[in-house]
A = this chain, B = another copy of it.
């Protein structure tokens, strides 16, 4: 097990009706709040009115930044920053999924930064200060409600990068699984795939002796495997929505990563897909993950895949590791297909046109430190397998 520093300060208010805590939790932080949200689904489900009532009762003035995109744009971030600076905003409240929360995080940092906000996306160390961030989650997926990360895109440049640090961790997050009842089947499946991917990318690592972390990760994987199909079929199943929502936070808040050397591998490959084609992040992850698994499977890695197969998928441990590994990968693919995720790039209208530049950019990240280190040629091969 590696050394680590555990630091998860975000206060979570989880469960039915927790919106009632909004006013009293926001009061000590702010007099003027920027409410950040997406396409208006929070109005449809009545959340917008609940927020306004809570904040107004607490004597807080609300400004708005609406229309956050599924892959949030730097241009939108900049609009939010301008409002913060002009109006002297004290805190940013995101109401939505990961995109909205990510946008709010960089707005909060940009509000305290004099240069171009894109600098903060390219270099997280430039974030030296941020106004407080709070979140109300409406989609179980990115875990942004309980970590400091944010992914922002500049679609004009086909750029999509992760940023954030301890300063951009939400002070509190309200997580009421009922707000996810209206999430579509496709987005439910994509969000669940994102949770699976976060967990798998931490699980497949080379650190010796991080046994406990691996068992916790398996617990999260089993939870998603059990409940994603339930939520897709029965959108208002509270138990399924609650388990998925809490799994989304624990998959990426550090709990299963502390003590391990991990590096994002499938995520950077997917970021290129959504930067070039604006596809749903989770769908891209569900698509790429089994191909990545097949590509990195070898005599050397079969043992870890077999551990995954036995402990997560319940495959008979008396079989040969390589056989278990292959069965585990097949089950992973079947799972993503079963919840309606795509399995070929062509189905998303993606061909080889940009493979060279996408592979090069993807390989610029942490891929060389991954479970199996990958170069741009490897990434291109994985994209090609996925066609």
Contact = CB atoms under 8 A, between A and B. Distances in A.
Interface stretch (A8-16, A262-270, A341-349): A8-16
B243 A14 contact: no
Interface in A204-247: 208-209, 211-212, 215-216, 218-220, 222-223, 226-227, 238-239, 242-243, 246-247
Contacts of A13: 5
What band does the interface of chain A fall in when counting residues whose beta carbon is under 8 Å from B? 35 or more
Copy total for this chain: 2
B6 A11 contact: yes
A43 B301 CA distance: 45
A318 interface: no
A66 B166 CA distance: 37
A2 interface: yes
A247 B210 CA distance: 11
A382 to B, nearest CB: 30
A135 interface: no
A250 interface: yes
B3 A18 contact: yes
Interface in A1-32: 1-18
Contacts of A18: 3
A48 interface: no
Contact of A15 (B4, B12, B218, B243): B4
25 contacts: A1-B15, A1-B243, A3-B14, A3-B17, A3-B18, A4-B12, A4-B15, A5-B11, A5-B14, A6-B11, A6-B14, A7-B11, A14-B258, A14-B259, A211-B226, A211-B227, A211-B239, A212-B220, A212-B223, A212-B246, A215-B223, A219-B219, A242-B259, A246-B259, A255-B255
Interface of A: 1-18, 208-209, 211-212, 215-216, 218-220, 222-223, 226-227, 238-239, 242-243, 246-247, 250, 255, 258-259
